[in-house]
Structure 1
Amino acid sequence: MFRISPFIFILIFLTACTLPFNQPILTEGATVPRPQNAATAPVEEQTEPPTAIPDTQTQPTDIQNDTTNGATTDNLEELANTTPADRDQVALVEALTGNDLPEFARTEPLDVQVGDTETFWVSDILNDSNYEVDARLRYAGPHVLMYFETAVDDQIRQEDIDRAAQEFEERIYPRNRALFGEELSPGVDGDTRLTILNITLQGAGGYFSSADSVVQEVNRFSNEREMFVVGLNSFPVGESSYGSVLAHEFQHMIHWHEQRRGPAWFNEGLSTLAEDLNDFGDDNTTILHIQNPDIQLTTWSNNAAQTGQHYGTSQLFMRYVYEQYAQDGGLAQLIQDDAGNNLAAFATMAQQTRPDINSFADIVADWAVANLVNNPSIDDGRYAYSLLPETTTPVDLELNTINDINQFGADYLTLPTGTTTLTFDGSDTVSLTGATPNSGQYAWWSNRGDDSVSTLTRSFDLRDLTQATLQFSLWHEIEYNWDYGYVAVSTDSGETWTTLEGQTTTKEDPQGNNAGTYGLTGISGKPGIETDQGEVGQWIEEQMDLTPFVGQEIQVRFWLIQDDAYNANGMLIDDVRIPELDYVDDFEEADESWEGQGFVRTTGTLPQQWTLRLVKEVGSETIVESVETNEAGQANISVNDGETGVLVVVASTPYTTQTATYTIQSETR
């Protein structure tokens, strides 16, 4: 995961439109996707369709943001119980290649001495590639090996290196482990010491890459060490900021070991909290949330204009949770409970202190009020915490106006004075992905999540066939060149899998993440486009040749494999056909023959939930009231003469990044 310096963040924030969009955009204290999935040697992309499959691809169909398709909405509890598997990079490559791979590069500690020179792979964020650097070992201690790029290491004083290493060994290392858990040790390199590589790094201030924690047979860019990288040009040794990036990236290393699927918003919030709790303070992005609080807490973005806001948002929220509920002993528990995905874990912890907390949305709404008032004397003290740079400023309510709001973002609306009755009318449904099923009311959705694997599997009997073709309707928005979907066949009951070549698959593998040779990535119908450029997926018709597998019983599996730190809307499958079997399934009826792990049969529409708080000033007293909405998303709000009020609006539907809408009408009595 990657972190950028404050200077680079300001430059990116001001010039976002000029930056390349085919790689993660970084901010201070931030991390972004890094190379870490399975791969074999790079191969050239196959641009011609398979010769055994006729080119009958239809024209793509644009997907509109229509959230109604005649079906009932999905059950949120069912979605909560549909969990993708953790991404085990070694097991995936073994399954998709048929090769037996080692888990460890060595079993004995590294035989290294101060002064030794090693060659390391480094990620070039700006150019979406990888390159090698030479670095010299300048410090070897009980917990850490510190290497410095040979091109600059003669400019670094040994006393500064020793001082920084001792700060890590004696303060940051034990503090992070006490707060968050433990790193993988001894790990892939057989050594209990972790490695810190210090180089001149363009585009980032530092990063942790889980690709380094697997053998090179799994990812060819692996350094086969538990390690992270620091950019000396952003965080010079000898300055306090250097220690902050060590605390930040070490939390990512611990988090990856303790809970592989921790999503970026939660993982980053804890890394910025690690800086704070190691006494390095705020990373200067928190003010961005206060200035624009309508940013979705529970997601991440590669968009340069939003990345800083996401860091500020996650840092403030995790600081609030830490002070109000977790304290030192609770952060590791949240990680182990996968709280970033299992949002109910936050409520479970909060209920130990405040039994009236019923949901994650309640915590977010209370935090939103704290960002408005930050006053520990109100109620039981839940509306206050430190680190807040200033309180947010509400805007005047505009009546009868359609307002957009992000899920788990917040709007602050100053209400009219005088005795007033308000009617809040929020949308009662929201799209899951921005797409609807290709036909009818149902399709299969891959789910989404960092460092995760989703599969959809069914058996077919091809013993009486001499040729066979798999056809299906496909929609996807998958992080380009980092996350991949696959269609694969197994003839040995799922032990190994052969990926199928289609009309839109690719063999390109710039980051070592294309584990299955023929992968689907990016936006369906719009090849080569990043998911953060405002483009949306299109339904396309795909087909793949099953003829090599005729005469056998087979399993067909759809996969989505996602790396850490960022994920997009995922993949939808509809209208699966094998004409030679006279097999057609539009998924309108549930079929238990299809087995989903992470995949869920969906209408594409969710019930929109709302969490409202009314903050009233009555004389010298501040009163916070919870406002309940009905199933239609409606509520009545009253403000009496002599009172002033601010309505805090939180859209609170999980699993989606699609916006909600609401209007407010007023009738003065």
Structure 2
Amino acid sequence: MKKLFSIGLPLLIAGLIACNGSTDVETQVPVATPGLTETATSQPSSRITRTTEPPVKVLQTPLDATIVTQFTDAPDRDLFRLTKELVPGSGDISRFVAGELTEYAVGRTDTFWLVDLRDSEIYQSEFELVLVTPHAYWYMENGLDLDLTQLERSASVFEEEIYPVVTNVFGSEWNPGVDNDSHLNILNANLSGLAGYFSSTDEYPIAIRPRSNQREIIYINAQSVVPGSATYEQVLAHELQHAIHWYADDSEDTWVNEGLAELSSSIALDSTSSIHQFLRASPTSLINWPTSSVGGIANYGAASLFMHYLTEHYGGQDSLSALLTEAGDSIAGVDAHLEQMGYESRFADVFREWAAANVLDGEGILGYDNLDVSARITGSIRGFNQTQAEIPQYAIKYTELKPTDEPFVLGFQGPTTSPLLPVGIGPKGCWWGNSGDSIDSTLSHRVQLPKGAVASLEYEVWFEIEKDWDYVYVEVSENYGKSWQIIETSLSSPENPIGSGFGPGYTGSSQGWVQESIDLSTYAGGEIWVRFQYVTDDAVNAAGACFRNISIPAAGILADDQDWEASGFVFTNNLVRQEFQVQLITTGAEPQVRQVLLDAHNTGEITVQPPEEGQKLIVAVGSLAEKTREPVTYTLTVSPGN
């Protein structure tokens, strides 16, 4: 994960927190991968043409604009299977790197891989083992001047408070782990641009991730996050949860993982700083996290506060280990967890209650027992008036009503659909690679090419994915899918600075639709499989990738072909169902929450009495649309009552 935050702010460290006042935020677990294989001379070639409109000739019938996309879950990423399929000669690889239990002594020197997010590179540095405690090896980077007494103090807090509390609530990390050693490794380093991280790369042998350190490791920027400080110990608690969560469910979405990591710090050390950043921020998405710096800390706070609320009102701390091990991810995982505990409520119900509790902070379901919470009111309507607002998906906007001293009607109007992608896809739709963390989506087709045919794979592609961390590949298999050759296209990136790629693939942004043509003549006279594959890393994902007008004319595969086999890919018309939760909240001595019921057109209204002395009227609008990251606009109207 790569999460960058200012050292002066709470260290919300599922990943990395920026130092020296930087506000850049990018979330992800640092990963490494096998190096790129050289391109054979017989490998297919490609050419590129950028287009802004679909081809004039289209063979598909227009999509019904009243039908929204039906989504399926994308399969979880399996790095062992991917390595076997994409890296020649890999074979079967053991998960472990040591046959016997190992233990190390103070004075040992080791070289470790580290991540430099500012320069997007991985480098090596030497460390000395300076302290051994029952559950951890404490390393110090050579040249780093630290107070060993303060490090011993934090190590004592870790052993006596953090480790027993966090593991009792959430479960254990992988122990003895990939290295067959029961100790965690705490690397105190001078990290560039970050304060601390946990990297799942290190949980794999180098045959899977060549730049793996092959140990369970927590990295801390001890130059800025000083041992002996409360902040240093909060980093430890937060990152320990990530190590535990990876072992319990290595494909969980960022917002759940980070929310529980913040909750871990709160449970062990009573740390709640990130929550206040969320409460002071403009409407912030709980689900969709940024791939840039804007709003990152508020996202941590949103996830933290939601997990506080969920834990307090649905199952308590005793239920958290079950939430970690729940196979479902994101909203589906929360729904399954609630059902398993016997609750009728689902995520949407909890989200609605949470929205009201963040304003009222009252008793029971409308508040928190151990937190003082007061969400920022970011809008107002004075008198009889109308306002429009735009908010992210899975965010809440609070608007105070300041009417006259007479009854009035509160009206709401919102769209019934939202675009899935921030780009037009044309009238015929496209194949979208889905979204999520640690996913592996594929779109495949069997191809029989005539002997001597001049054949090409033609398609248009649009993508907006996390640069250097997530990749889309175009692949060919000559052995019925046992192994695949990654085809270098004109727009694919041969660079792999973080080690997250398996070969040249699409990453970053295409800056519009791009026409690609890949020569398949090398395979003429035989049967092959062609595949598009979207693989994401552990944390943070963007809008994804879409392919349209895919054809292989020489094989009779035209743009309207229905025989593509999708696993995770979804054919979309770029429309998703838009839902809203609209609540009128009355604050004061006798708080009240009223639901504004919406019809099939997302329109609704209620008659409201003017507030009494000491009361406030606040409208909470929550936006919920599956999969899309596109914001939505709605209208609130205050008009005279009858």
Structure 1 length-normalised TM? 0.86
- Name 2:554's counterpart in structure 1: 580
- Name 1:616's counterpart in structure 2: 586
Contact residue 69 and residue 436 of structure 1 kept, 8 A: no
- Name 2:604's counterpart in structure 1: 635
Equivalent position to 1:400, from 386, 402, 417: 386
- Name 1:533's counterpart in structure 2: none
- Shift, 1:258, TM fit: 1.1
SS of match in other structure, 1:309:
helix
Deviations 1:352-375 (A, max 9, x none): 6864x3x42221121111111111
Deviations 1:365-418 (A, max 9, x none): 211111111111xxx433334334544336312733332111111111222242
- Shift, 1:252, TM fit: 0.8
SS of match in other structure, 1:317:
helix
SS of match in other structure, 1:522:
coil
Question: What aligned pairs does 1:258-297 form with structure 2 within 5 A after superposition?
Answer: 258-282=248-272, 284-297=273-286
Amino acid in structure 2 at the alignment position of 1:133: S
Residues 524 and 625 from structure 1, CA distance in 2 versus in 1: closer, same or farther, beyond 3 angstroms? same
Question: What aligned pairs does 1:218-617 form with structure 2 within 5 A after superposition?
Answer: 218-282=208-272, 284-338=273-327, 340-343=329-332, 345-346=334-335, 349=338, 355=344, 357=345, 359-376=346-363, 380-388=364-372, 390-393=374-377, 395-397=379-381, 399-415=385-401, 416-417=403-404, 418-437=406-425, 439-515=426-502, 517-525=503-511, 538-586=512-560, 591=562, 593-616=563-586
* Structure 1, gaps ≥5 residues long: 13-17, 63-67, 526-537
- Name 2:30's counterpart in structure 1: 35
- Shift, 1:41, TM fit: 5.7
* Structure 2, gaps ≥5 residues long: 13-17, 55-61
- Name 1:165's counterpart in structure 2: 155
CA distance in structure 2 between the partners assigned to 1:616 and 1:441 by the alignment: 47
- Name 2:59's counterpart in structure 1: none
CA distance in structure 2 between the partners assigned to 1:309 and 1:667 by the alignment: 34
Deviations 1:233-260 (A, max 9, x none): 2221122222111111111111111112
- Shift, 1:277, TM fit: 0.3
Amino acid in structure 1 at the alignment position of 2:505: G
CA distance in structure 1 between the partners assigned to 2:373 and 2:235 by the alignment: 21
Question: What aligned pairs does 1:74-85 form with structure 2 within 5 A after superposition?
Answer: 74-75=68-69, 78-79=70-71, 82-85=72-75
Amino acid in structure 2 at the alignment position of 1:387: L
**Residue 200 of structure 2 is aligned to residue 210 of structure 1:** yes
Contact residue 147 and residue 195 of structure 1 kept, 8 A: yes
- Shift, 1:144, TM fit: 1.3
- Shift, 1:453, TM fit: 0.9
- Shift, 1:137, TM fit: 0.8
SS of match in other structure, 1:167:
helix
SS of match in other structure, 2:29:
coil
Equivalent position to 1:156, from 144, 147, 154: 147
**Residue 126 of structure 2 is aligned to residue 134 of structure 1:** yes
CA distance in structure 1 between the partners assigned to 2:103 and 2:336 by the alignment: 48
Amino acid in structure 2 at the alignment position of 1:624: V
Amino acid in structure 2 at the alignment position of 1:25: D
SS of match in other structure, 1:278:
helix
My pick for the range that moved more, 266-275 or 235-244, is: 235-244
Structure 2 length-normalised TM? 0.89
CA distance in structure 1 between the partners assigned to 2:50 and 2:114 by the alignment: 41
Question: What aligned pairs does 1:27-176 form with structure 2 within 5 A after superposition?
Answer: 32-40=27-35, 53=45, 55=47, 57-60=49-52, 70-75=64-69, 78-79=70-71, 82-98=72-88, 99-100=90-91, 101-152=93-144, 155-157=146-148, 159-176=149-166
Amino acid in structure 2 at the alignment position of 1:543: S
Residues 557 and 351 from structure 1, CA distance in 2 versus in 1: closer, same or farther, beyond 3 angstroms? closer
Contact residue 612 and residue 647 of structure 1 kept, 8 A: yes
- Shift, 1:582, TM fit: 3.3
- Shift, 1:2, TM fit: 5.1
Amino acid in structure 2 at the alignment position of 1:156: D
- Shift, 1:128, TM fit: 0.9
- Name 2:57's counterpart in structure 1: none
SS of match in other structure, 2:558:
strand
My pick for the range that moved more, 189-198 or 341-350, is: 341-350
Residues 361 and 267 from structure 1, CA distance in 2 versus in 1: closer, same or farther, beyond 3 angstroms? same
My pick for the range that moved more, 629-638 or 171-180, is: 171-180
- Shift, 1:611, TM fit: 0.8
- Alignment root-mean-square deviation, CA: 3.0
SS of match in other structure, 1:294:
coil
CA distance in structure 2 between the partners assigned to 1:198 and 1:657 by the alignment: 37
SS of match in other structure, 2:81:
helix
SS of match in other structure, 1:472:
strand
CA distance in structure 2 between the partners assigned to 1:236 and 1:86 by the alignment: 37
CA distance in structure 2 between the partners assigned to 1:169 and 1:642 by the alignment: 54
CA distance in structure 2 between the partners assigned to 1:231 and 1:19 by the alignment: 9
Deviations 1:126-161 (A, max 9, x none): 1111111111111223321111112125x432x433
Residues 620 and 150 from structure 1, CA distance in 2 versus in 1: closer, same or farther, beyond 3 angstroms? closer
Deviations 1:407-465 (A, max 9, x none): 1111112222420112211111101122343x433221110111111111111112534
